[in-house]
Amino acid sequence: MLFDREQEVEELNFVLNEPGSHFLTVSGRRRLGKTTLLVEWARQTERPTIYWVASRVSSTQLLRSFSQAIFAHLHPDASIDPGFSYPSWEMAFGQLAELASQQRLIVILDEFPYATEVEPALPSILQNSWDHTLKQTQILLVLCGSHIGMMRKLQAHQAPLFGRISGQLQLKPLPFSATGAFLPAYSLERRIAVYAILGGVPGYLERFNDRDSLADNVRRHLFRSTGMFRTEPQFLLQDELSQPHNYLAVLLAIASGNHSQSDIVRATGIEHVTSYLSRLQELHFVRRNIPVTVPEKDRLKSRKGRYDLADAYMRFYYRFIHPNQHLIEQGLHDWLWQLISEQLRAFIGTYAFEELCQEWILTQARSGQLPIIPERVGSHWAPDAQIDVVAINWRLRQILLGEAKWTGNPINRKIVRDLLAKTPLVVPDEGEGWQVHYAFFSRSGFTEAAVAEAQKHEAILVDLDMLGEVLE
């Protein structure tokens, strides 16, 4: 089944309905549902389709597997000779060209980077076949892969396929709204907790059972010594990086609360950490955030950048699981869950809840429900002021400051006044000529005094139900 992939399907259908040949790439980390998306989309189109997935076998076996996928399409009711193979890749691609000469043919080559590992000349062979035959047909060729680095190399300036690929689809994790499809029996609060732990990765979400408690799901799946969740982060690193130990050190440092480059250097002892951070950003494991209050012209060279783990599960894993593997090995699962549960509220509030509040702002702005049209939405940090949610429009000189609280207590008047007091420290140009708006997001609601104080400033008050109405 497809969840919240309407935009991706729309983009694929747009290309499908355009005349002529098309060459697409679909990439994204493991377990995002790339294969499910492509196979289900192709099925829905009812167009002739050849689907083939590469594997790390010998060159001969690889060509034989591809050849038999074509044969199965040509002769769907015939049994395949186990030894059947085209003599060469050129002849196999030539057969595709013949099939696509009279009608639209969808060809999906899944995990294509694995094929290039086995047959390094394959991109060049494909390039030659595309230039001389395939380009003149009605083929829709899709290269799909989880190996982000290899997919980037396929499209690099010096690569054989450079200039042939007409479209790129980068699959991202599902939005928070998709958690309801996977865990319909869970409350909104519990699904936010799951989202903080697993993110929007379908391959993770489908393993949790909403008939079990959050604690039971975490213990059953994340604490298993041989389970997928224990090996996944290491596999992701090793699949992309030949010598991952320094990269692992950087990830652990960030997960432990070291967000500036200087702090990461001190935590890891790696002096030249910039190259590692850049590579991790390319792989979408790490992201560099800049306060939204930094002017556009200064953002590129700003020294106020903070590094965070971009992947939700990596963030949770390197914060709680990896440093406590000794507890898992000793079977002290209850002890570890107790340790995690004591810090989980703060973890959810710092990451998932703030991100969802920022998403709420964006969603409301798109529908015209806010007194501000933001150019950027994010947060602000400085030695004298930290603001969870900030939306800003530099052109119109509009800014919204927001406080997000994932605590068991309602927001009180002091919290409202504290945010108001920070205003001159945050608003650019000391606030001159700026329209300032306020918003407060609370898991546990608001005191009467807080509501009264907020109303004086026409502040937006968003409780958990209001958040869910917009984001679900």
Q: Which of 20-34, 251-265, 386-400, 419-433 has the lowest mean pLDDT?
A: 419-433
pLDDT for residue 431 is more than 90: no
The mean-pLDDT minimum among 39-48, 67-76, 354-363, 422-431 falls in 422-431
Neighbouring CB atoms inside 10 A of 401's CB total 25
How much of the chain exceeds pLDDT 90, in percent? 92
In b/e form, how buried is each residue of 107-120, taking b as 16+ CB within 10 angstroms? Answer: bbbbbbbbbbebbe
Stretch (H or E) spanning 422: helix 413-426
- C-beta of residue 337 within 8 angstroms of C-beta of residue 219: yes
What's the first-to-final CA gap in the chain, in angstroms? 18
Tokens matching residue 310? 């971009």
Flag whether the pTM goes above 0.85.
Answer: yes
Give the torsion through C-alpha atoms of 459, 463, 467, 472, to 10 deg: -160
Summarised one tens digit per residue, pLDDT across range 105-116 is 999 999 999 999
Which tokens is 277 given?
A: 């951070």
Burial class (CB in 10 A: 0-12, 13-18, 19+), 368: exposed
- Taking each helix axis from N to C end, the angle separating 464-471 and 188-198, rounded to the nearest 10 degrees, works out to 70
Please give the pLDDT value at position 157.
Answer: 87
Tens digit of each residue's pLDDT (9 = 90 or more) over 213-234: 999 999 999 998 878 999 999 9
d(CA 89, CA 63): 7
151 phi/psi in degrees, rounded to 5: -65, -35
3-state secondary structure of 226: coil
Mean pLDDT of 314-343: 96
- For the stretch 246-253, contacts whose Cβ atoms lie closer than 8 Å and that sit 24 or more positions apart, written own/partner, are 246/270, 246/276, 247/276, 247/279, 247/280, 247/285, 250/276, 250/277, 250/280, 250/286, 251/280, 251/285, 251/286, 251/309, 251/314, 251/318, 252/318, 252/322, 252/323
- Please identify which residue in the block is written with the tokens 């958040």: 467
CA 416 to chain centre: 33
Q: Helices (DSSP H) in 164-295: which residue ranges?
A: 179-182, 188-198, 202-205, 214-217, 228-240, 245-255, 261-268, 274-282
At 461, is the secondary structure helix, strand, or coil? Answer: strand
What is the rounded average pLDDT for all residues in the chain? Answer: 95
Amino acid sitting at position 250:
V
Q: Distance between CA atoms of 49 and 69, rounded to whole angstroms?
A: 10
Tally Cβ neighbours within 10 Å of residue 36.
15
Is the per-residue pLDDT at 432 higher than 90? no
**Which single residue is written with the structure tokens 């890891």?**
268
pLDDT at 3 over 80: no
Do residues 271 and 180 touch, judged by C-beta distance below 8 A?
Answer: no
Q: What residues contact 42, with CB distance under 8 A and at least 6 apart?
A: 49, 51, 106, 108
- The per-residue pLDDT for range 360-371, each reduced to its tens digit, is 999 999 999 999
Strand order in the sheet with 139-145: 49-53, 105-110, 139-145, 22-27, 167-170
Residue among 52, 59, 53 nearest 95 (CA): 52
What does the pLDDT read at residue 125? 97
Q: What is the CA radius of gyration of the chain?
A: 25
Strand 139-145, strand 22-27: pairing: parallel
Residues composing the chain:
472
**Distance of alpha carbon 141 from alpha carbon 421, whole angstroms:** 58
| Other beta carbons within 10 Å of 8 | 20
Flag the least confident range among 34-38, 150-154, 444-448: 150-154
The confidence band for 1, taking pLDDT boundaries of 50, 70 and 90, is low
Cβ burial of 138 (10 Å; 0-12, 13-18, 19+) is middle
Q: CA distances (Å), 331 to each of 48, 311, 325, 339, 355, in order? A: 52, 27, 10, 14, 34
Express each pLDDT in 190-209 by its tens digit. Answer: 999 999 999 999 999 999 99
**Domains delineated in the chain:** 6-170 (3.40.50.300), 176-350 (1.10.10), 363-471 (3.40.1350.10)
Please determine, for residue 351, whether its predicted confidence score (pLDDT) is greater than 90. yes
Distance of alpha carbon 409 from alpha carbon 391, whole angstroms: 25
Helices (H), 46-154: 59-74, 89-99, 112-118, 122-132, 148-154
